Structure 1
Amino acid sequence: MTPVGTWRSIDDQTKEPKAQVVITESAGVLTGRIEKILKKDADPKAVCDKCSDDRKDKPVAGLEIIRGAKKAEGKDVWEGGRVLDPEKGSDYALRLTPIDGGKKLEVRGSIGPFGRTQTWTRVQ
C-alpha cells in the first residue's frame, strides 16, 4: 500500500484517461512526473505556460507535478507535499491515500478548506 508506481489519472469532466504519472520515492519523500499525456486532443508538445515557478514553460510531458509528500506516522497516507495542475498552473496542498488494496490512489488537492479528490488507477 504505497503511492510509488505508475498511475493513470482521469479527467474530471470527460472521465477519459488524462495522463500517466510515475511516482517515485527518495529518502522518504515522494515526487511524481507526467510520463505520458493520454488525453485524446492534447498537444504532445504542450508546455506549462500558466505555471509561475521553476516549471513555467517546461513541457507537460515529463513535468514534475507532485513534490514533497511524506508518509504520515502510523497511517497509509502521504501528506505535506504539493500537487500541480498544469492546465491551470495552480499548486495545491496534497494528500495521497492508496485504496482498494493499492490498486487505486486517492489524490486530494486543496487550498484551505476547499479541494477536490481524484481517484487514479494503478498501471504498474
Structure 2
Amino acid sequence: MYKALTAILAVVIAAPVWAQMTPLGTWNSIDDKTGQPKAEIQIVDKDGALSGRVVKSLQPSSEPLCTECTDDRKNQPKIGMEIIRGGKQAEGGDVWEGGKILDPENGKEYRATFTPIEGGKELQVRGFIGPFFRTQVWKRVP
C-alpha cells in the first residue's frame, strides 16, 4: 500500500519536470538583431507532432500579413499563424526533428529541430536549408 502511494506521489511530483523537457508550451522567440523578445509562440501536440502558432507580437511590425509566404499562409495574418508544422521526438533523445518552421518576415520555410535546454527553460530552435543552418534560443514564458 505504501509503495503504491509513494510511486503515485513520485509521478505527481515529477510530472511538471517531464513537461518542462519538451518543446510544448509558450515561448518568447528572440530577435536575432536586437536580442529582445519578438513574439510569443505556443507549441502544442497536434496528432502526435508539433504545431506552433504566433499568439502575440512583442515588437511593432511593419507588415501584419505574411506577404512573402508562398503556401496556404500567403497574405494571412502573422498573429495566429501556424509557423511550426511537424516534428516528433527522436527515439531515445531530447530532440524533436522532422518538422518545419516558417519565418513569417521573409516567407522562408526551413527544416527544423527543437531541443529543450537549461532544464526546459530554453528551447534551441535550429532551422536548416541544405547544409546551412541558423540557431535561435527561445525562452519559456513563465
Q: Secondary structure at the match of 1:101?
A: helix
| Equivalent residue for 2:70, pick from 44, 48, 52 | 52
Matched to 1:24, the amino acid is V
Q: How many pairs does the alignment contain? A: 122
Which of 84, 91, 97 aligns to 2:109? It is 91
Partner of 1:33: 53
CA RMSD of aligned residues (A): 1.0
Q: Judge conservation of contact 1:28–1:71 (CA < 8 Å) in 2.
A: no
Is the radius of gyration larger for structure 1 or structure 2? Answer: 2
Which protein, 1 or 2, shows the higher relative CO under an 8 Å CA cutoff with sep ≥ 6? 1
How does the TM-score come out when normalised to structure 2?
0.83
Partner of 1:109: 127
Q: Report which of the two has the higher share of helix.
A: 2
Gaps of 5+ in 2: 1-20
Structure 2: distance between partners of 1:16 and 1:68: 27
Matched, 1:42 2:61: yes
**Structure 1 segments unaligned to the other structure (5+ residues):** none
Aligned equivalents of 1:70 and 1:57: distance in 2? 28
Percent identity of paired positions between Structure 1 and Structure 2: 57
The secondary structure found in structure 1 opposite 2:51 is strand
The one of 15, 20, 24 aligned to 2:35: 15
Bigger strand fraction? 1
Structure 1 match to 2:136: 118
- 1:78 and 2:96 equivalent? yes
